[in-house]
Amino acid sequence: MTQLNAGIIGMGHSYPEGILTNADLERMVETSDEWITSRTGIKQRHKAADNEYTSQFGTAAAKQAIERAGLKPEDIEIIVCATTTPDQIMPSTGALIQAQLGAVNAAGMDVFAACSGFLYGITMVESMIRTGAIKYALVIGAEVLTKYVDYTDRGTCVIFGDGAGAAVLGPVESGKGILATKIKSDGRYEEQLYAPGGGTKLGTSHKTIDEGQHFFKMKGNELFKVAVRSMADISAEMLEKAGLTVDDIDLVVPHQANQRITDAVASRLGVSEEKVYSNIALLGNTSSASIPIAMDECIQSGRIKEGSKVLLTAFGGGVTWGATVLQF
């Protein structure tokens, strides 16, 4: 029997129409377009309206991905929704998306791995497809982060935006698809990026709400160094595992955390600027959605095409990180 690999065979993305510019933020907190642009590279981010929520964007992205893969929702066997901002605590957003898609033969679930969630999802389903346990899986990164952001905290509110990206994975010929993938976490860094309220530890009370315990809290400066080191190291490890060097890679699609982090990772890996994709100026940091949105933009524009070798790498709260090497 021919050995198959798991590969991405269709992608899609979606985000809310609403836009929050740096000028809007200047009117909300003590900040400036100059500070945000020079420290993060972000000029604007998309923001969901009060009546919009995560599964809607996940479903819209997933519909495109399934159609572009030439499949029907019934063909999907596993739906992994990577999100840190679910519609509600139960059922999972993956199950809600399953219902919205009519993917009646799938098992829907969520993976909570913050900004690394999409790479967690594809790493989980990769071996299921490669071993033949399942044929088609849907991995979605979907977030409405702006509903978890404290718009009085200038350290976090300028960074995050909303959106979703999705990929259908299925069997592809040997030598193509996912060549190497790895995910890691270190929960000892819990308090570098976290939202403590609303769970079983603090519960939900007037006190936790008044204290803003449900909002994201971040020690950005400390995360910065760990993020750069972790993404560069795991990328080098996955390139070696795939039997490639950075020179073989056509495009690097990193998690869009901060332009300065992207630049530092590229420089540590020795990759030139032209080979590194960035859309952070227009979308901000969309956490688990950032890699699939960026990849789909590259596929639509022709920057990723048949034969392209692509490196993905992410880092996020947990802390979590990962890297994946693919050949299209």
Residues 275, 252: contact at Cβ < 8 Å? yes
What is the rounded CA–CA span in Å between residue 302 and residue 118? 22
Active site residue 13: no
Could you please report the per-residue DSSP string of 211-271? TTTTS-EE-HHHHHHHHHHHHHHHHHHHHHHTT--GGG-SEEEE--S-HHHHHHHHHHHT-
Vertex 277: Cα angle to 311 and 237 (nearest 5)? 25
Q: Which of 69, 180, 227, 289 binds ligand COA (CB under 6 A)?
A: 227
Closer CB to ligand COA, 32 or 131, in the complex: 32
**Residue 158 makes contact with ligand COA by CB under 6 A:** yes
* Residues 18 to 47 in contact with ligand COA, rule: CB under 6 A: 31, 35-36, 39-40
- How many residues bind ligand COA (CB under 6 A)? The answer is 21
For residue 160 the two structure tokens come to 């995050």
Residue 72, interface with ligand COA (CB under 6 A)?
no
Asked whether position 308 contacts ligand COA by CB under 6 A, the answer is: no
CB of 100 within 8 A of CB of 61?
Answer: no
Q: Which of residues 94-123 bind ligand COA (CB under 6 A)?
A: 115
81, 115, 157, 298: the active-site residue? 115
Q: At closest approach, how far in Å is the CB of 104 from ligand COA? A: 35
176 to 205: interface string for ligand COA, x by CB under 6 A: -----------------x------------
- Which residue has 């630049």 as its token pair? 263
Of 43 and 241, CB closest to ligand COA: 43
Nearest distance from residue 116's CB to ligand COA, in Å? Answer: 9
311, containing H or E segment: strand 309-316
- Contacts with ligand COA, 245-284, as mask; x by CB under 6 A: ------------xx--x-----------------------
- Minimum Å distance from CB 107 to ligand COA? 28
Verify binding: residue 154, ligand COA, rule CB under 6 A: yes
- Give yes or no: 46 in active site: no
Integer Cα distance of 98 and 96 in angstroms: 5
46, 255, 258, 298: which is the annotated catalytic residue?
Answer: 255
Whole-angstrom distance, CA of residue 165 vs CA of residue 80: 12
Q: Tell me how far the alpha carbon of residue 77 is from its chain's centroid.
A: 21
- The helix/strand/coil state of 24 is helix
Q: Is 255 a catalytic residue?
A: yes
Spatial contact of 84 and 58, defined as CB atoms under 8 Å apart: no
Catalytic residues: 115, 255, 285
Write out the residues near ligand COA by the rule CB under 6 A.
31, 35-36, 39-40, 115, 154-155, 158, 193, 220-221, 223-224, 227, 257-258, 261, 285, 315-316
